[in-house]
Amino acid sequence: MSDANAPYLLAGLKVVDAATVIAAPAAAMMLADFGADVVKVEQPGAGDMLRMISGIRTMPGAGIDYLWHMDARNKRSITLNLRSAAGLAVLHRLAAQCDVFITNHPRPVRERFGLTYDALRAANPNMIYASLTAYGERGPERDRKAFDQLAYWARSGLMDLMREEETVPAQGLPGMGDHPTATAIYAGIVTALLHRERTGKGSMVETSLLANGLWSAGAVTQGVMAGGDMSGFREWRRNPQFLFRPYRCSDGRWLQFNMVRTEELMYLLLTGMDAMHLLADERFATWEAANQNRTELKELIQEIVGQRSSDDWLAVFETLEVPVNRVAIVEESPTDAQVLENRMVIPVTDPAFEMPRVVTHPIQVSGVPHVEPRPGPRLGEHTEEILAELGYGADTIAAMREEGAL
C-alpha cells in the first residue's frame, strides 16, 4: 500500500476482488473506501460486465461508465486469463498473500480452478474467504446462476408482494438487491476480521441474494414462519386502510400518509385538509367506521388532495406537525439538501472520475475517514505493477503476455 492510505482504518489490508458485476465487487469497493488495497481481477478483453451496464438502453444515458466508477472506485485492476496455467497461478499467488478473497464465481468454476475455500486456505489459513451465491451454498439450487432480479427480487417473494392485485409483477431496478447484499457481505467480512484478530483464525463468510431478499421481506416472511394468516394479509393489501395508500396532488406528485396512525393525527390531518366535516358523516364518524367504509373515504380524500399542489400540502402538514411526505423522484437527488448534507452522495474532485458526485454506501463511522473517490481502473491498468509486487520479473511478465496469460 502507498503511504497515502496510511491514515485509513483498513490501510495495509490486502483484498482480492475475484468477482463480477455488482454485489460482491461493491463489497470490495466498501473495503477500498476505508483504505484497503483492493486488486480487481478481470478477464482480458471485455473485463467485468459492470463496465458495460451504464451503456445499455434501459439505463439512464450519460455517456459515462457511471456504475463502474461508483462500484469499482479506489481499486487496482489486473487482467488474468484463468484458462491459462500461468494466469491461474497468479490468482493463486494473490490468494495466498491476501487478507480477504471475495468471489461470486459459480461453484463448478471454483472447483475447476481450485478456488474453493478449502483449496485456498491450505496455502493461506488466516484468509477471510467471502462467498456470494445466488441461492446459498447448499441445497438443490446451490449451483444455479442468477442476478438479483431472479434470486433477490423474484425468488424471495418480494416481486409478488410489491404489486397491486391483478397487476403484473414489476421488474426491479438494476442493482436493487445487489447493493443491500454488498452491505451484508461487507458486514460479514468485518465480523470475520474481528474474529481473526481475537482468535488468529481465518474463516469463510457466506451470504446469498436469496437470503438478503428474504431478509428484506422479513416482516412478512416471519409472519408466515409463525403461521400467520396470509389470506387476511393479502385481502388487506387489496383494499388497505384509507391512510395506507398514496394520494395524487394537482401537480401530479404523490403524498404518503401512512405515518398517520392515531386518531389524534387523523384529526390534525383532516383539519389541515379542511375536511373535518367528514367526521360528521356517520360512515366515517369513528376510526372503526372509517376503516369499514374506507373505499368511499379514499375517494373523498383523493378529491380534496387533488385540488392543491404537493408543495402547498407539505407546508400545511409541516405547520401541524403531521408526518406526511412526498414520494420523491430520483431526478431530485442531485440537489436534495438532506441527501447531500448527510453524505449519502459525496463530492468528487478527481477530474478523471467524470462526475461531480457519487452515490456512496451507507456506512459512516465517526473518526473513520473515507478515501477520496478515485475512478474505477482501466482494464488491466495495474497488471504489471501488481505482478512486480508478487515477485514476477519483467521477462516473465513479457512472456506471460506473449502467451495470452494476461
The separation between CA 354 and the C-alpha centre of its own chain, rounded to angstroms, equals 22
State how far the Cα of 359 lies from the Cα of 333, in Å rounded to an integer: 10
Domain 247-326 - what CATH class?
Answer: alpha beta
Residue ranges of domains in the chain: 3-217+336-402, 247-326
Residue 399 is predicted with a pLDDT of 97
Average pLDDT over residues 22-40: 98
Domain 3-217+336-402 CATH class label:
alpha beta
**Mean local confidence (pLDDT), 103-115:** 96
User: Which of 406, 404, 380 has the alpha carbon at shortest distance from 392?
Assistant: 406
Residue 47: pLDDT above 70?
yes
Q: What is the pLDDT of residue 238?
A: 87
Residue with cell 481475537: 198
Give 17's contacts (C-beta < 8 A, 6+ positions apart): 24, 25, 28, 38, 39, 40, 41, 75, 102
pLDDT for the residue numbered 86: 97
On average, the pLDDT of the chain sits at 95
Q: How far apart are CA 256 and CA 241, in angstroms?
A: 13
Which of the four pLDDT bands, split at 50, 70 and 90, describes residue 2? very low
Buried b (16+ CB within 10 A) or exposed e, 385-406: ebbeeeebeeeebeebbeeebb
For residues 15 and 84, is the Cβ–Cβ distance under 8 A? no
* Percent with pLDDT over 70 in the chain: 99
Mean pLDDT of 248-272: 94
pLDDT digits (tens, 9 = 90+) for 196-215: 999 999 999 999 999 999 99
Local confidence band at 58 (pLDDT 50, 70, 90 cut-offs): confident
User: Quick one: pLDDT band at residue 5, thresholds 50, 70, 90?
Assistant: low
- Asked if pLDDT for residue 4 goes beyond 90, the answer is no
Residue 1 has pLDDT above 80, yes or no: no
pLDDT, mean of residues 95-114:
97
Is residue 51 within 8 A of residue 34, CB to CB? The reply is no
Determine the average pLDDT of the residues in 354-365.
Answer: 95
78: pLDDT strictly greater than 90: yes
Question: Rounded to whole angstroms, how far apart are CA atoms 101 and 131?
Answer: 8
Per-residue pLDDT averaged across 373-397, rounded? 97
Residues pairing with 128 in the sheet: 100, 203
